Chains A and B, each alone.
Chain A
Amino acid sequence: MVAAVGFMLAVGAWRSGDLPWQQQVTETVGTRGANLGTMSWQLTSHKGEPVSPQSWIGQTSLVFFGFTWCPDVCPMTLLNISDWLEELGPDADGLAVHLVSVDPERDTPEVLADYLSNFDPRISGLTGAPDEVAKAADDFNATYRRVPRDDGDYTVDHTAGVMVFGPDGRLSSIIDLHDDPKFAVPKIRRAMEREV
């Protein structure tokens, strides 16, 4: 019982960001430069094709973490991205857009394909073995956590921003969920201007 209370207190402190070492974590989010060139994960696309990070170098890429069981944030992110692609017009042709599933247990390539058919066809879904997804999240400095529900089902908390990588493979910026939408497309354009 005491252990359980201690655990809840720790969770509470974690959530409110009160732990001293957490300040460091907060400061490094988005600044520790993720680099596609040094990543090593291997995932599978919703079309069943193998995907590796190096294959994105040379083009501007948008990456975000989510899952198809998520009814609020994920459809909204997909809609936002669809809007940006539309605003970019023909310039969006050189973009690669990837949803990495944080729920590989349920999001098989077939499930991703079915779900993504409702959104812009340029958005690709990625999934794979749970340890490969974990490795990818680590490489991208993303976090996710499976949260059990009372009825035996579960949901997944996850990093919500859209990461923007330049053609050089380096993280250029992150578009946060609640950012003013007018800054999104300029962030993508800035990434596009990077030299390989």
Chain B
Amino acid sequence: MMNSTAAAFVLAAILPATAFAECVEVTQGNVTVSAAWSRATIGTERPAVFYVTVRNDGSEERLMGIETPVADVPMLHETVVENGAARMSYVEQIVIAPIDAVSLEPGGYHGMLMDLQTELVEGTTFPVTLLFEKSGPVTIDTAVLPLRAREAACEEAL
């Protein structure tokens, strides 16, 4: 009896940690890329989205673009709300200040994956290559989460 109660406590303590695995992290040069995720798509006609966190441990770095085999036209975008109206504008580059981190996240910077080659299916992953000015190309496995996801399903070790 005592044992099973103790076991329940141990389980309760372990569960949150196992439910959220640590994010896949790729380090190259001064940049560390982690928490890459996207939303499942309905078919291939609609554009998909790409979110990720970039940490920069060196001098100023720039994300110049993204590439992925799942989309013919991947682009960096930013959602801008002006006078109550939202538009998504193309951004040529995203500057990451020295010893800083930038998150591509809902409502702000994001990757826009247009002309999809394949439907993004929940539970799968696909590679995205981030093109950095100084650190070069960095490829990370991107988790496809449900259409209803609003954040990465992993704990960032930042």
A-side residues, CB < 8 A to B, are 15, 17, 25-26, 29-30, 68-73, 75-76, 79, 82, 114-115, 118-119, 143, 147, 149, 151, 153, 155, 157-161, 174, 176-178
CA A156 to CA B86, docked complex, whole Å = 9
B81 contacts A178, CB within 8 Å?
Answer: yes
Which residues from chain B contact A72 at a C-beta distance below 8 Å? 49, 77, 79, 88, 106-107, 110, 112
Binds A, one of B8-16, B27-35, B40-48: B40-48
Asked, given contacts A71-B39, A71-B112, A76-B106, whether A157 binds B48 with beta carbons under 8 Å apart, the answer is no
Which residue of A68, A76, A115, A174 contacts B84 across the interface (Cβ within 8 Å)?
A: A174
Known: A71-B46, A160-B86. A119 touches B81 (CB 8 A): no
Q: Are A159 and B84 in contact (CB under 8 A)?
A: yes
Give A71 to B110 CA distance when docked, in angstroms.
Answer: 10
Q: Are B84 and A30 in contact (CB under 8 A)?
A: yes
**CB-nearest residue of chain B relative to A26?**
B83
Q: Which residues of A are found within 8 Å of B81, using beta-carbon distances?
A: 160, 176-178
Question: Which B residues have a C-beta under 8 Å from some C-beta of A?
Answer: 39, 42, 45-49, 73, 77, 79, 81-88, 106-107, 110, 112, 114-115, 146-148, 150
- Cα–Cα, bound, A72→B83 (Å): 18
Contacts of B48 in A (CB 8 A): 71
- With contacts A71-B112, A72-B110, A178-B81 taken as known, whether A114 is within 8 angstroms of B87 at the C-beta atoms is no
Q: How far is the CB of B118 from chain A (nearest CB, A)?
A: 16
- Chain A residue numbers with a CB within 8 Å of B150 are 76, 79
Q: How far is the CB of A7 from chain B (nearest CB, A)?
A: 17
Q: Is the CB of A68 within 8 A of B83?
A: no
Contact call A118/B46, Cβ cutoff below 8 A: no
**Inter-chain contacts of B77 with A (CB < 8 A):** 72
Q: Assess the A178–B115 pair: CB atoms within 8 A.
A: no
Q: Considering only CB atoms, which chain B residue lies closest to A73 in the complex?
A: B86
* B148 touching A119, Cβ below 8 Å: yes
What distance in Å separates the Cβ of A134 from its nearest Cβ neighbour in chain B? 15
Query: In the complex, A151 Cα to B71 Cα: how many Å?
Result: 13
Residues of A within 8 A of B88 (CB): 70, 72-73, 155, 157
Partner of A69, one of B46, B79, B82, B83: B46
**Nearest CB in chain B: distance from A144 CB, A:** 8
Q: Known contacts A75-B148, A76-B106; can you find 12 more A-B pairs with CB under 8 A?
A: A26-B83, A29-B83, A69-B45, A73-B86, A73-B107, A75-B147, A76-B107, A119-B147, A149-B114, A153-B115, A159-B85, A178-B107
**5 pairs from A and B in contact (CB 8 Å cutoff):** A17-B83, A71-B49, A72-B79, A151-B115, A159-B85
List, in ascending order, chain A residues with CB within 8 A of B110's CB. Answer: 71-72
Which 6 A/B pairs are nearest by Cβ-Cβ distance? A160-B86, A157-B87, A71-B49, A118-B147, A76-B106, A73-B86
Closest to B87 in A: A157
**With A69-B46, A75-B147, A153-B114 in contact, is A29–B84 under 8 Å at CB?**
yes
CA distance A70 to B110 in the complex (A): 12
